[in-house]
A and B are shown apart, each in its own frame.
Chain A
Amino acid sequence: MIYLDHNASSPLRPGILDVVLSVMAQQVGNPASVHWAGRMARQYLDEARRHVAALLDLHESRIVFTSGGTEANNLALFGLAAAKGYQGELLTSQVEHPSILQACEVLAHQGMTVKYLRVDGAGRVDPGEVASALTRQTVLVSIMAANNETGVLQPIHDIGAICQAAGVPFLVDATQWVGKIPLHPDSVPADLVTLSAHKFGGPKGVGALIITPSLLLEPRMLGGGQERGRRAGTENLSGIAGFGAAAALIKTTLIHEQSSVTALRERLESQLLAAVPDAVLWGVQAERLPNTTAVGIPGLDGETLVMTLDLAGFAISSGSACSSGKTTPSHVLRAMGVDPALSQSAVRITLGWNSTSHDVDSFVNAFYRSVNRLRKGS
């Protein structure tokens, strides 16, 4: 099996499992306990926090560990909305992750105004539209760093500058960005940043929200006072230790990996277009993550193509995994103005830290055969 679905979940990087297992196999206590077992647990927490802080180049007190990206996004949105008495306007885009869009929908029900910015044909939000949509009522701007389906990067630095000038907090969902491109939230500038460990080779079940200390944010999970009162509950210790280890690892490998994965993706896309000349690549006019290819094959059903490739031993995806079984057409492609019939044929190929040129070559071969077979059959 060759796994090319890293945006859904990236396998654990080398060495991370050892860290996770050693924490679990040891007699470590509850980090809230004062005795030696508790202290040992706290040391793992502190060390992981230092590693994540070093990766993002910020102070460790700004990191709040959560159960993942979804919880971090929810904490940011609801925490801020609650601090504002559920009043005012939220500004986001049409192509955000469901954890942002669904949370916004609930907040709209609770009386807040939500504005969804459109994107251009390449999937980009126009910073100018952010600037003109801001009002005195705007309490938060929430724009993802990189799109999970197309890999398109949003102009977060421009948007960050606009938000800073307007004095409006800026939430960056960097779930897909972190681990693929260096990120320094302070240079964005971003007030809230969402991370997920399993998207870059850390364990599942752990993520973080980066919070600017001055920002008022009500906790969503109460009781116990962990994470400086921002997020209660006994910490996922082994997961957090693995998260920290993965952050420490990519801090050194990131730059190299970024260029090697970019080269692999170029190889993939040029071969793909040679094999299936009428294939449509999305987002290519924009800056993209180095690993993501979103492609449509006119006349084919994306789901069928993914199943065919699975039988051939290749794991890719026909949209985002979070849509869990729902076969509704991608909201991201719709926002980009892609013809609905064509978007039904969309598949996503996402490379990662363990992808090789051999993986890419054999994938393109299987892709070529599958497309031809499906086209002959139809």
Chain B
Amino acid sequence: MKLPIYMDYQATTPVDPRVLDAMLPWFVEKFGNPASRSHAYGWEADAAVTKARKQVASLIKADPREIVFTSGATESDNLAIWGVAHFYREKGNHIITPTTEHKAVLDTCRHLEAEGFQVTFLPVQSNGLVDLRMLEAAMTDQTILVSVMAVNNEVGVIQPLEAIGRLCRSRKVLFHCDAAQGLGKMPMDVNAMNIDLLSISAHKIYGPKGIGALYVRRQPRVRLKAILHGGGHERGMRSGTLPTPLLVGLGEACQLAASEMVAEHQRVLALRERLRHGIMSQLTHVELNGDLQARVAGNLNISFNYVEGESLMMAIKDVAVSSGSACTSASLEPSYVLRALGVNEEMAHTSIRFGLGRFSTEEEVDYVVHIVVNGVNKLREMSPLWEMVQDGVDLNNLQWAAH
């Protein structure tokens, strides 16, 4: 087994060698600008873009004409939420989104709030799932958009998209779904789920970084205001030269995801369960964060009581894992997602996200179980609190003397 071990598949995934192979010819021999309509270089690039658009659409059961290529899921989220809010502001000014969304969604919504929109940041249940009755109760006649992610990046829980979609459709509210973490890991069907806008990222599904897409429904037609203006590419919704090799990579990644999803799910789920049982059967005072059933196969998020998350990260530094979302892990703030699930600050600080994926092996899992268990035991031995816990002191009921 090779060290170090990468176990952070929710932060980013390695490029699948087959995706790389598909991209190769488009870098050098076939380098035309797909917008060049007058020569063969442009035409063949345009044909490649068309194929990629079909591959992406097919994975979410959409029409290729409904796919807008972007620089990634962050841009897709910005375009969907900002674009819809600005196009439909005459119709209403209210947006609903859970407090556990990705920053790209939350920050865009906060920005809209500063512009005068009303935003309901919906609390989630302690298992991380949206409560449909609360969502319905939050809707007003001013509500134009609900934005709920398919799968949470930190705790991996799968939101009830079909039910949310049905509710939104019945209330004539647009439904945006950030599917960056869900795509390729669970079946996505924009029609069965009544999704109107859906954000896609290539680098979360073994494609290259710097490319993504936004699905925008054509029937009934969803309109949005563009963020990037220029040559009028992507039917005016997103200008800028299309990076052919990256698009080919996204397309290929989607096709691989479609053909391998079922088998991969089984394999990764078995690894995840091996990891979970391995850790949780050997350690006490550990908590699983987020629902176990409604959860993607590749995610395990555990809080280790009586150790510090950062110290544990150091103890297992050969393994790339994350304490909180990759986008926020450079800060020492406890994860806002775990806090929203009701996890207390201390337990949030001691949480580790293990992300498994296509290239994870049983051997790696066994090694990680071993060093995590050892690391936690060692750190606990050094913890004065742990000694008290061992002696039966209930720390939650400690009465500190007031001086």
Contacts and interface: CB of A to CB of B under 8 A. Distances in A.
Interface of A: 1, 3, 5, 8-9, 11-12, 17, 20-21, 24-30, 32-38, 66-71, 73-74, 78, 97-99, 102-103, 105-106, 196, 198, 203-206, 220-225, 232-240, 303, 306-307, 309-310, 314-318, 321-326
Contact of A35 (B8, B201, B227): B8
B28 A235 contact: no
B209 A38 contact: no
B229 A237 contact: no
A30 B20 contact: no
B298 to A, nearest CB: 15
Contacts of A3: 41
Contact of A233 (B6, B11, B71, B322): B71
Given A97-B230, A322-B241, A5 B6 contact: no
B357 to A, nearest CB: 12
B32 A24 contact: no
B232 A33 contact: no
Contacts of A99: 228-231, 239-240
B245 interface: yes
Across chains A and B, which 7 residue pairs bring their CB atoms closest together, nearest first?
A236-B210, A205-B243, A223-B104, A99-B230, A322-B231, A233-B74, A67-B71
10 contacts: A21-B24, A36-B320, A37-B320, A74-B227, A102-B239, A198-B241, A222-B104, A239-B210, A316-B38, A318-B38
Contacts of A24: 15, 20, 23, 208
B209 A235 contact: yes
B104 A233 contact: yes
Contacts, number: 268
Contact of A36 (B4, B15, B27, B330): B4
A177 B319 CA distance: 45
B317 A321 contact: no
B231 A35 contact: no
B8 A205 contact: no
A317 B36 contact: yes
B241 A33 contact: no
A9 B39 contact: no
A17 B31 CA distance: 12
A34 B228 contact: no
B241 A30 contact: no
Interface string B260-287: 0000000000000000000000000000
B172 interface: no
A203 B211 CA distance: 13
A315 B44 CA distance: 13
Contacts of A68: 240-241, 243
A251 to B, nearest CB: 22
A315 B8 contact: no
B77 A33 contact: no
Contacts of B229: 70, 74, 98-99, 102-103, 105-106
Contact of A236 (B71, B105, B233, B327): B71
B246 interface: yes
Most chain A CB neighbours (cut-off 10 Å) among B28, B78, B231: B231
B209 A27 contact: no
Given A204-B246, A236-B71, A236-B210, A325 B37 contact: yes
A302 to B, nearest CB: 9
A35 B329 CA distance: 10
B37 A310 contact: no
Nearest to B231: A322
Contacts of A106: 229
Given A33-B322, A324-B233, A223 B71 contact: no
A220 B111 CA distance: 10
Contacts of A9: 31-33, 36, 241
Contacts of B322: 33, 35
Contacts of B38: 303, 306-307, 310, 315-318
B274 to A, nearest CB: 22
Contacts of A36: 4, 317, 320
A35 B317 contact: yes
A27 B75 CA distance: 24
B210 A12 contact: no
B244 A204 contact: yes
Given A33-B320, A38-B11, A232-B74, A11 B31 contact: yes
Contacts of B104: 222-224, 232-233
B243 A203 contact: yes
B27 A20 contact: yes
B230 A321 contact: no
A32 B330 contact: yes
B88 to A, nearest CB: 17
Nearest to B103: A223
Contact of B230 (A27, A103, A236): A103
Contacts of B330: 32, 34
Interface string B87-107: 000000000000000111111
B71 A205 contact: yes
Contact of B210 (A67, A224, A303, A316): A67
Given A9-B33, A204-B246, A315-B40, A71 B71 contact: yes
B321 interface: yes
A322 B11 CA distance: 34
A307 B42 CA distance: 12
Nearest to A229: B107
Contacts of A315: 32, 36, 38-42
Interface in B198-236: 201, 203, 208-211, 227-233
A306 B42 CA distance: 12
Given A102-B230, A324-B233, 18 more contacts: A24-B208, A27-B6, A30-B327, A32-B328, A33-B322, A35-B321, A37-B6, A98-B232, A203-B27, A205-B71, A224-B74, A232-B78, A232-B104, A236-B246, A239-B209, A315-B38, A321-B37, A325-B35
Interface in B320-370: 320-322, 326-330
A289 to B, nearest CB: 18
A222 B111 contact: yes
A365 to B, nearest CB: 18
Nearest to B238: A70
